[in-house]
Chains A and B, each alone.
Chain A
Amino acid sequence: MTATAQKPKAAANGTASRTTRLLADPRLPVLVTAALFLAMYGGGLSRYTNYGFGEPQVFLNLFIDNGYLLVAAIGATFVILSGGIDLSVGSVIGFTTMFTAWLVERQGLPLVLVVPIALGVGAFGGFLMGYVIHNFEIQPFIVTLAGLFLFRGLCLVISKESISVSDPSVDTLAQTRVPLGLGELSIGALVALAVLAVAYYVLHHTRFGRRVYAIGGNEQSALLMGLPMGGTKIAVYTVSGFCSALAGLLFMLYIQSGDPLHAVGMELDAIAAVVIGGTLLTGGSGYVVGTLFGVLVLGLIKSLITFEGTLSSWWTKIATGVLLCAFILIQRTMTGRKKT
């Protein structure tokens, strides 16, 4: 027993705790999700290889078809890591498609101008929500719920009808494909990957990123350690608003229209991707890389169902729910073990 106190390292690294330590490692869920993705991909290969599933482009299409979701989910990752939640994601995406389509098509503004305006509006919306959450101590759930109503309402205020975008610059951007040897990626997919890289850098190599983890780990401690909590919290929601707006832009590029009903409920997809990617909904633990795998798993479910042909689209929702349930239960057992 004397060794315990003199050499705490010895105790912590002891054989008895090795399993516990492995189970408590926050990287484990990411590996589980990555393994799940590979298994599903492998399953797809063996089943649909005659239908062209093995083409590298099928894999790259996952990024092209889900780039916007990845960006939105990255924003949600920031919020969830800090211990909060953002329900306004889908509405901000829908609003951005509508807003940009309206500016470009109805107001004739050039895209170069529209993009920063749209991003600014999204970020400002996030900032406002963060401000209210922090300064008036209202639950994020309710504040972002108001945000959900507000942005969806603003969509309808702009127009009840969908606006299709035929602006040539949007068209060119949407059609552009960047060759990558084995296949090609769209601008949207590349932007999403760039956002992923930036998010990784911010979360792991800047003080702001570490503060996000600290607040999610223990808010009271973070306060007592003298960290500027309010600023961080507001910033987190601002990041989420910005990412949602960017996701909206990518979504607009992807389907080239603005519609007041675009991306209804996409906040659930984003949250599901984050949770499946191994981030704890209680905050403080998780990786943005996990979110990438979460999005890829969701995307793969969709393409597997497409390849299957006979399965209908609602199986996506059911499969997402089942995966979500599985991962929540896994997280529960992990955190339960840590506490006792």
Chain B
Amino acid sequence: MAEPRPVLQMTGVVKEFPGVRALSGVDFRLFPGEIHALIGENGAGKSTLIKVLTGVHSLDGGTITLDGESVEFTSPLQAQQAGISTVYQEVNLCPNLSVAENIFIGREPTRGGRIQWKRMRKEAAELVDRLGLDIDVAAPLSSYPLAVQQLVAIVRSVGTGDRETPGSGAGQAPGSGTATKVLVLDEPTSSLDRDEVLELFRLMRQLRDDGVAILFVSHFLDQIYEICDRMTVLRNGTLVGEHLVRDLDQVGLIELMIGKALDQLEELHEHQLHSDVGETLVKAEGLGRSGKISPFDLEIKKGEVLGLAGLLGSGRTELARLLFGADHPDTGKVTIGGKQVSMSAPNDAIGAGVAFCSENRRTEGLVPDLTVRENIILALQAARGWTRPIPASQRDELVAKYIKALDIRPANPEARVGQLSGGNQQKVLLARWLITSPQLLILDEPTRGIDIGAKTEIQRLVVSLSEDGMSVLYIAAELEEVLRLSHTIGVLRDRKLVARLANGPEITTSRILETIASGEHQ
């Protein structure tokens, strides 16, 4: 089968950040008139690949050709001018301006320097109409729901090239003069409901039929199977496969994404889960938050490790945040140790003995300017209040104890936390919560982006903590990891807790994969 020439070809793309190789020699091609899914877990390199493509990051190795010509962009604007438009998950438009202005800003039709409002509205209306949308272009963008704003962003990015730009000058329009060849949609569906997604898909199909090559990033597998023609799967910064969608089923895809037991954690393999699981500690009934996670019931016993399995965006973080009061639940109630807890703010949960290590260490966990010592005692100090400082001797002893126990390096309590490596930062966060002696420890992807040695140590720690009677809610992208540590595995799919599996010999990664793929508990 003779394939047409790809409109975009990336070969051997390498991107390095200090200490991390985000992309190591990735090949990627995109054909005109196709919708191509880019798939991978967190840290697989999806966003880095897109950013390299659209000129946000510079290239450290490899080549990019667009329409047969070698290109390298140094800014998003350049990429746009060459015909590569990007629509991000957060709508990058100005909500205070009208829809028509958002479509045309930077290239408004003018005569003698005066904006021709009527003409602009008319052309915007025609464009919107041609794409089969029903939007009042004179209304301010903020009067529309996010889904419509998303569509407007797409209209802007594709509607720019096919008309002559009147006048030229410094304020040159993105995409002017060149039709959009490649449209990158970076997780556009993550905050849309089903009907809104259908509308988006209709628009995507229409653009594809017009010959636009669409690169679609989504973590919803159903959507990928519904709309995409071809997919590229990344894992740990490498290409693991390019397939036609019809050639690969969901289980096969998930295996590609998560990877099979590529395992260096052999010592833990022999580990037997301790059976010393006590009474119910935490009980959630009908807990939920609309748009984040459907109401769920959950029980965590004393000394139990409950693992959450599910793909990115399946609601695993959202579930954890509700249990900690980081987000306010719409429905349901939580009882901890037999007492109902209001969960309106993290304080309530902390008071009841819950601790939460966020997956976003930098933005939601650490205070980078403060020292290791200060970051470690922060939670305990917050609980004591500002008037009762931890006595210096006791504080130093505690900090030294945990620096040693968790092997935090450098073992200098005065070091600024922002300068530590990822693994050590994670350990600082763990130490912060461990000194509060929590009853339930929630770990959201504690092993993400850290080196293999630190990974092993953290997993061993989880085991020994649970042996000592602490309950742990453990979230990880790698199924092996969840399977190895957990007594019970909660499976999530599409923001629903679809199954709870008691770990045992019959539970294997493929069994969990099937559950994730089918969304049913067999």
Contacts and interface: CB of A to CB of B under 8 A. Distances in A.
Do A and B come into direct contact in the complex, CB within 8 Å? yes
Contacts of B92: 218, 220-221, 224-225
A221 B140 CA distance: 16
Nearest to A81: B96
Contacts of A285: 96
Q: Which of B91, B151, B171, B198 has the most CB of A within 10 A?
A: B171
A26 B139 CA distance: 12
A331 B106 CA distance: 29
Given A2-B195, A338-B142, A9 B136 contact: yes
A10 B172 CA distance: 35
Given A8-B135, A210-B115, A220-B92, A231 B170 contact: yes
B147 A221 contact: no
A1 interface: yes
A217 interface: yes
Interface string A219-235: 01110111110010000
Interface string A199-227: 00000111100110110111011101111
A7 interface: yes
A160 interface: no
A12 B139 contact: yes
Contact of A4 (B88, B114, B195): B195
A113 interface: no
B114 A205 contact: yes
A6 interface: yes
B94 A4 contact: no
Contacts of B140: 24, 26
A289 B105 CA distance: 23
Contact of A284 (B94, B115, B145): B94
Given A4-B195, A5-B195, A206-B115, A213 B96 contact: yes
Interface in B105-119: 105-106, 108, 110, 113-115, 117
Interface residues of A, number: 39
A214 B105 contact: yes
B172 to A, nearest CB: 8
A210 B174 contact: no
Nearest to A284: B96
B106 A5 contact: no
Interface in A277-291: 284-285
A194 interface: no
Nearest to B79: A226
A8 B134 contact: yes
Interface in A168-222: 204-207, 210-211, 213-214, 216-218, 220-222
Contacts of A205: 114-115, 117
A35 interface: no
Given A9-B134, A12-B139, A207 B115 contact: yes
Contacts of A224: 76, 88, 92
A317 interface: no
Nearest to B95: A217
Given A8-B134, A205-B117, A227-B171, 11 more contacts: A1-B195, A2-B195, A4-B195, A5-B198, A12-B143, A21-B143, A207-B110, A210-B97, A211-B171, A224-B92, A284-B96
Closest 9 pairs between A and B when the two form their complex, measured CB to CB:
A226-B174, A5-B195, A217-B94, A217-B96, A5-B199, A221-B92, A284-B96, A8-B148, A226-B77
Interface of A: 1-2, 4-13, 17, 21, 24, 26, 204-207, 210-211, 213-214, 216-218, 220-222, 224-228, 231, 284-285, 338
Interface of B: 76-77, 80, 88, 91-97, 101, 105-106, 108, 110, 113-115, 117, 133-136, 139-140, 142-145, 147-148, 151, 156, 170-174, 193, 195-196, 198-199
7 contacts: A12-B136, A221-B93, A225-B93, A226-B77, A226-B173, A227-B106, A228-B171
